[in-house]
Structure 1
Amino acid sequence: MKKKVYHWQPELSTAIIYWSCTFGILFLSLILTLEHTRPYLTSNIVLGIFFFFTLLGCNRYFMIENEQLIVHALLPIRRKKITLSAIEMIRVGPKCIEISSIEFKEGTQLFIMTKKNKHAFIQSMKQQCSLTTQIIDDPLLTIGKHY
């Protein structure tokens, strides 16, 4: 059976920086293409790099299995396996969710999700029997962190 994944993006400032740099690579490839009238190896290599970073940026997701929440992030050192009993609180905003757990470095982490993914993820979390945390709807939760 295929495991269900729920895609997410990091908090707003990180997402803007990552996707701006990624599309900068695309524009560099297009500029290199305009410099020559025939197919140009360098522009095709740079375009390939753009597609690599695009796929890498879309490879952030949650998976729930064996009473654990697996947070699959861009960098392998940032990937986490969090036991569901260690989750203290889940706040659900209009465009994002915030998960509080002692297993996160900062104690809490913000994830931007589409409405469809967010709703499916919350329903899946509610079905887990080992999840004892409260899930709070917070319409004031924004997609940027407040420090």
Structure 2
Amino acid sequence: MIKIFGKIRYHWQPELSWAIIYWSLSLTPMFIGLALLYERAQISTAIFVMFFLFIFAIGIGFHRFFRIEENQLYIALATPFASRKIQIKSITKIEVTRLFIKVFATAFPNGKIFYMRKWPKKFFINDLVRNSHFQGEIELTDHMIEQDYFEEYYAESSKSVR
């Protein structure tokens, strides 16, 4: 969860295997550029091109996030032209597990999986449920298997309020 220009972004990643492949390929130009720098002992345009590709791949990799707007959920994908907005009232159900959330909406009838870390997932679900246009249901599918971080968070927040 990051606040940029007054708007809160909840970052997600693709499936673990795709994420490992992507981040491995995005680090490759940096290592090639460092190898070229070591071999030549002078800075050439090829080294600048490799570092530019590395920075570009990192930027695209971090361009996956949700943003809750007034009545829409903006889903930014790695490709800037494929991002989509769905109506919050069209979301029928969200399954929450320890590793990911699965969103069921009219745009995703079979559900779409988004891998998220623990705290951004918790804040995203809280903010989505508090939205007045949300009419779906939240289902904790692996509730209390390892650690219920929702219970832990609410226990901590109730202590700080008192």
TM-score (norm 2): 0.79
What does residue 94 of structure 2 align with? 90
What does residue 61 of structure 1 align with? 65
TM-score (norm 1): 0.86
Q: How do residues 8-23 of structure 1 correspond to structure 2 at under 5 angstroms?
A: 8-23=12-27
Structure 2 distance, partners of 1:16, 1:90, is: 25
Structure 1: tracts of 5 or more residues without a match: 141-147
**Residue 38 of structure 1: how far off its partner (Å):** 2.0
Structure 2 distance, partners of 1:79, 1:34, is: 40
Q: How do residues 74-89 of structure 1 correspond to structure 2 at under 5 angstroms?
A: 74-89=78-93
Q: State the number of aligned residues.
A: 139
After the TM superposition, which segments of 4 or more aligned residues of structure 1 sit over 6 Å from their partners? none
Show CA shifts across 1:9-67 (max 9, x none): 11223212211210122222222122211223211221111011101110111011121
- SS of 2:7 mapped into structure 1: coil
Name which of 135, 138, 141 aligns with 1:135: 138
Q: Name the one with the larger helix percent.
A: 2
**Residue 123 of structure 1: how far off its partner (Å):** 0.8
Show CA shifts across 1:91-138 (max 9, x none): 11112111112213x732111111121111011011011111111112
Structure 2: tracts of 5 or more residues without a match: 144-162
CA RMSD of aligned residues (A): 1.7
Instruction: Give % identity.
Output: 31
Name which of 3, 6, 9 aligns with 1:5: 9
What does residue 39 of structure 2 align with? 35
Structure 1 distance, partners of 2:44, 2:90, is: 53
Q: Which has the higher contact order (CA 8 A, sep 6+)?
A: 1
